[in-house]
Amino acid sequence: MLFWQTLYQLRLFSRRPAALFFVIIMPLIMFVVFTVLFGNELIPGTEVTTAQFYAPALAVFGAVQACYTYLAVSTATARDQGVLKRIRGTPLAPITYILARILAVTAIAIAAVLVVMVVGILFFGVAVFPEKLPMAAISLFTGCFSFAALGMLVCALSRSSETTQAVVSATLLPLAFISDVFIRPFREIPQWVTTLSDIFPLKHFSTSFSHAFRADKAGSGFNWIIGDEIYAALPNLAVMAAWGIAAAAIAAYTFKWDPKGEI
């Protein structure tokens, strides 16, 4: 039942052109536009080209769009329409339904990442380092879990799909600008901005995944020691996991299946 419900959720996504555009197509368009606009040269002060920076960063943005924005809004919409309430009257276990939604958005997130990365590799010279790919995959799945849990938390705490849409937009876009997703690291950033971004999981998701595609970072990522020339993703994974576990626990306690707020 979990397998078939996951396939059903994927089919629903494929029939929503707006969701397909914002999750899969928009990150790709942004990657191509940014690379062409800024020029695919070395970023001043780094050994990374524009494409090498933006491909993994915007791939992460696409994954977050799927696991956070789409999951939260689509679940809240289903609740408003009474779908979730009716699900509880079927043989399908509620936990199976939620897990199917999470598995579906994880598959969508992986597709979004692959689209951006494959285009970057084939057309913009993005380099891949095989020894770092295992940690890149672990970072991707950890980030998907963390933001899926946060998406369910936003849905649980919001009273309608409109409120959910407003909350995810108001939280994701500002964080993306201060979390090494949209802005290239070519100049000094105020310390308070760095400190603020380090608190939230998006910076850690972007860093742990993006650094797997940087030649100036040594190591496979399985390292706790953070340095300018070391690929150490374990601290980032710990922060993402902490956010995900906390969000999942609160969402499970507060989630309502009925649009009227009934459990």
Q: What is the DSSP string of the chain?
A: -HHHHHHHHHHHHHT-HHHHIIIIIHHHHHHHHHHHHH-SSBPTTSS-BHHHHHHHHHHHHHHHIIIIIIHHHHHHHHHHTTHHHHHTTSSS-HHHHHHHHHHHHHHHHHHHHHHHHHHHHHHS-----GGGHHHHHHHHHHHHHHHHHHHHHHHHH-SSHHHHHHHHHHHHHHHHHHTTSSS-S-S---HHHHHHHHHSHHHHHHHHHHGGG-TTSEEEE--S--BTTEEE-HHHHHHHHHHHHHHHHHHHHH--SSTTS--
Q: How far apart (Å, rounded) are the C-alpha atoms in residues 154 and 146?
A: 13
Which tops the pLDDT comparison, 29 or 259?
29
Q: How confident is the model at residue 152 (pLDDT cuts 50, 70, 90)?
A: very high
CA distance 23 to 198: 25
Task: Point out which residues pair with 42 in neighbouring strands.
Answer: 49
pLDDT digits (tens, 9 = 90+) for 53-107: 999 999 999 999 999 999 999 999 999 999 999 998 888 999 999 999 999 999 9
Q: Which of 126-140, 147-161, 198-212, 216-230 has the lowest mean pLDDT?
A: 216-230
Q: What pLDDT digit, counting tens, does each position of 158-212 carry?
A: 989 999 999 999 999 999 999 989 987 656 778 888 889 999 999 999 999 999 9
pTM of the prediction? 0.95
Determine if residue 261 is left, alpha or beta; phi over 0 gives left, psi from -120 to 50 gives alpha, anything else beta: left
Which of 27-41, 102-116, 134-148, 223-237 has the lowest average pLDDT? 223-237
